[in-house]
Structure 1
Amino acid sequence: MAAGLVTTSVVGAEPTVPSRVDTSIYDSFAQAEGEPPVTLMPRAGVPDEDVYQYRAAAPQEAAIEEGATRYLETDFLLNRGIETYGFVDIGIGANAWGADWNGPITFNDRAWQGQMNQLYLINERILKEDQLSWGGRVDLLYGTDFLYTVAGGLDSDWNTGRYYGLAMPQLYGEVGSQELNVKFGHFYTLIGYEVVPAIGNFFYTHAYTMQYGEPFTHTGVLGTWVPNDQLTIIGGVTNGWDNWDIGLPTPANPGPGQTSNAAFLGAITFSSSDGTQALTLANSSGNEANGGQIGGNDLIGNRTVTSIVYTNEFTDKLTYVYQSDFGYAAYAFDPAQ
């Protein structure tokens, strides 16, 4: 049971393109439609799963109730510390206005059409707890949710299907231990509470804040330090929102640093001694093309989003979550208007 999912957002300047979702997606749907736009539980010998595996960082661990069989794992991989597992997420949604598309709702975006949102496969090697080791992870997502989880220059280039496609939201390596490590590659964001993998969320649907006001993924380097059970500190550099290797366009407002998309990504989590409460502050800040244009060229400016997430696990079956986001986007307007 989940209660009290409260989400608020404050935006300093409302961008024409408010998030990682390409608005051309909606245009293509509108033209075509004629309308406006089981938590995986561990078995013996396998480390516990928690929401940390689905975010780059997480405020709390998932509740563990019983084991589940992992049919994809083999002794050959397990003996080398490699785990392979996955899940399937299927659902159906509808609307009251008679359109085939549920927009602006995303993920469950088809009306009265059963969707296989996620056929999700994970292959990972987890770092050892207290000694130097190496690890890594690859996530593959096939389904209708691919549309909202692709990154510029990566999986956005190999998908041609209208409804179903393949995304690779995580591809990273790690060096260090559980207490101190460095992650490099492509990984999920630290921002917010909701996550892409369906088993990391209570609800089938998502808040608009998650859909339109937060990044899904980043590419870069993150360092993590866990000095004790009550404190986790993460910080690093990425190349912006939902981006693999695409640089910024030629700016309409050239200046020092305007062509750099290097961005800060970091978070700090304070946890209670019994592990039932956590407070996470996360921030992403860097240059983006936020929607404003002059003469057909994009205005480049800072985009910053900060999220505050508080969780309280009252019992094994009742968790309270509060989230508040603050966002700022420079030049998120058309100067001609």
Structure 2
Amino acid sequence: MAGFLDMNDAAAKTSSEWFDDVTLAGQIEGGINANVSRPANGVNFGQFFGDRANQAQLDQLTLTVARAVDTTASSYDVGFMIRGLYGADGRYFNIAGVTDRLMTSRYQFIVPQAHIDVHLPWLTRHGLDMQAGILASPMGVESLDPSLRPFYTLSYTTEYSTPFEHVGAMFQWHLTDHIDALFGVDTGNQVSFGRGDNNRAAAGYFGLTASSLANGKLSLTYLGRVGPENATRALGQRANSAQRYWNDLSGSYKISDRLSFTGELNFLHDEGLHANTYSFVSYLSYQLTP
């Protein structure tokens, strides 16, 4: 059982070496959502991020300062990530009580990630990883970061059936070389504390991820989420107890050295709204060159 800190190892990494691992990165994304039908109101129906038809826009201009932790280390490690984003995408990732009242224009500034990361060599050989602060939702196969998703546009599953941002803490416990347990607690989807919270109850994640199965070809992740998400101004005090349940199963399979399949199945039930949603998204990707 891991969990004992070797003071010599801890002292070996000086403060200057720790700062040597800090990185600074910038990224810019812009584009246009073409619509050959040219809607009279200029809006792509049902789309959040690509809502403007045939209009070029700056989606994201991001700046990130970070230090990644070594998730396989046998000793303690501490890191962080702070990311600022300016652009049209910021309108839909605002967190109430943090940046929701900062700007009202089409292009807005948000802080999509600002968290402390800690690797704890506890309980199992690969230990436990924690992130606490402003966190991106771990659910789904698409993310706000365009470098981590396959397409410029986002699926309806991502836009309507998975959470976006949280204030809270999330944990990844490495049970074996292939299986991790996932869990966490937060204030809710895109809300913070005090007046920034639409109700007075917390929500949280639980799940498992399995990687490098079937001779390294298959990876699967199941994430469940439970918590009230409706506002008290809409449901009154019942908003604190009317639960919303997410269930999301995603995975990828490497069919060949170049061809891969990715899929996601999502089911959501909301007690307060008496509503259910079901959705599925999938795609194939082919690597053209090394």
Same fold (TM over 0.5): yes
Q: Which residue of 2 aligns with 1:304?
A: 245
Q: Residues 261-300 of structure 1 correspond to what in structure 2 (within 5 A)?
A: 261-273=201-213, 274-289=215-230, 293=234, 297=236, 299-300=238-239
Q: Which residue of 1 aligns with 2:102?
A: 158
Structure 1, gaps ≥5 residues long: 1-75, 250-259
CA–CA distance in structure 2, aligned partners of residues 141 and 196 of structure 1: 10
Larger helix fraction of residues: 2
CA–CA distance in structure 2, aligned partners of residues 102 and 220 of structure 1: 34
Q: Which residue of 2 aligns with 1:226?
A: 174
Deviation per CA, 1:117-167: give whole Å up to 9, x if none: 111222111113312011111121111100111111111121121x11111
Aligned residues: 246
CA–CA distance in structure 2, aligned partners of residues 317 and 158 of structure 1: 45
Q: Which residue of 1 aligns with 2:57?
A: 115
Assess if the C-alpha contact under 8 Å between 1:291 and 1:332 holds in 2.
no
TM-score by length of 1: 0.67
Q: Residues 237-248 of structure 1 correspond to what in structure 2 (within 5 A)?
A: 237-245=185-193, 246-248=196-198
Query: Aligned with 2:243: secondary structure?
Result: strand
Q: Which residue of 2 aligns with 1:51?
A: none
- Relative to 1, partners in 2 of residues 1:112 and 1:166: Cα closer, same or farther, differing over 3 Å? same
- Relative to 1, partners in 2 of residues 1:116 and 1:275: Cα closer, same or farther, differing over 3 Å? farther
CA–CA distance in structure 1, aligned partners of residues 18 and 43 of structure 2: 43
Q: Residue 184 of structure 1: which of 106, 109, 132 is its match?
A: 132
Using the TM superposition, give the Cα deviation of residue 293 of structure 1 relative to its aligned residue in structure 2, in angstroms: 4.2
Q: Residue 326 of structure 1: which of 246, 267, 272 is its match?
A: 267
Using the TM superposition, give the Cα deviation of residue 275 of structure 1 relative to its aligned residue in structure 2, in angstroms: 3.6
Q: Which has the higher contact order (CA 8 A, sep 6+)?
A: 1
TM-score by length of 2: 0.77
In structure 2, what residue type is equivalent to 1:233?
A
Q: Which residue of 2 aligns with 1:167?
A: 110
Deviation per CA, 1:168-219: give whole Å up to 9, x if none: 1111102225742221111111211111111111111111111011111111
Q: Residue 197 of structure 1: which of 145, 156, 173 is its match?
A: 145
Assess if the C-alpha contact under 8 Å between 2:25 and 2:64 holds in 1.
yes
Structure 2, gaps ≥5 residues long: 1-15, 121-125, 276-290
CA–CA distance in structure 2, aligned partners of residues 310 and 175 of structure 1: 26
* Root mean square deviation of aligned Cα: 2.4
In structure 1, what residue type is equivalent to 2:139?
I
In structure 2, what residue type is equivalent to 1:123?
V
Deviation per CA, 1:78-108: give whole Å up to 9, x if none: 8532111121111101332232222321212
Query: Aligned with 2:94: secondary structure?
Result: coil
Query: Aligned with 1:289: secondary structure?
Result: coil
- Relative to 1, partners in 2 of residues 1:92 and 1:106: Cα closer, same or farther, differing over 3 Å? same
- Relative to 1, partners in 2 of residues 1:277 and 1:109: Cα closer, same or farther, differing over 3 Å? same
- Relative to 1, partners in 2 of residues 1:140 and 1:262: Cα closer, same or farther, differing over 3 Å? same
Percent identity over the alignment? 25
Query: Aligned with 2:158: secondary structure?
Result: helix
